[in-house]
């Protein structure tokens, strides 16, 4: 049975996850070093200190966060390409999107493409796999 994430868990998780750059920044020299990444997973697990949470739950949550983040960026990009005005661009409904964009925007980017976000964000590059 997998861990049931709550909103307060997500905010804390993202704060801690942000500090482990080797887990999210594919430009980090440690991103491809399995032993360092495994230490970071275990560190995340011990800092979160949530009963019934496993390292596998953390790995699954990281995959989910990245997927949903990129999905929201794709929606923004699609609404931008549709010719929608800046007031009509897709606004992400994920409560943690702003928190995630504060660090994902540094490494998840597309080949020279920028996306305008209708909220309080400026321009940021995006990556679509």
The residue with tokens 């999905």 is: 71
Distance of CA 18 to the CA centre of its chain: 9
CB-CB neighbours of 39 under 10 Å: 14
Q: What's residue 123's pLDDT?
A: 43
This prediction has a pTM of 0.77
Residues of the chain short of pLDDT 70, as ranges, are 1, 84-86, 108-129
Rounded Cα distance between 96 and 56, Å, is 21
Indicate left, alpha or beta for 100 from its phi (over 0: left) and psi (-120 to 50: alpha): alpha
């Amino acid at each position: 049975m997998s861990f049931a994430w709550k909103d307060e868990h997500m905010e804390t998780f993202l704060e801690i996850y942000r500090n482990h750059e080797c887990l999210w920044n594919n430009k980090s020299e440690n991103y491809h070093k399995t032993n360092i990444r495994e230490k970071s997973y275990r560190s995340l697990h011990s800092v979160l200190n949530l009963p019934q949470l496993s390292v596998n739950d953390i790995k699954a949550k990281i995959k989910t966060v990245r997927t949903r983040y990129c999905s929201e960026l794709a929606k923004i990009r699609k609404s931008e390409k549709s010719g929608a005005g800046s007031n009509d661009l897709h606004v992400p409904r994920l409560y943690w999107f702003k928190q995630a964009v504060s660090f994902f925007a540094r490494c998840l980017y597309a080949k020279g493409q920028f996306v305008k976000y209708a909220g309080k964000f400026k321009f940021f590059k995006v990556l679509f796999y």
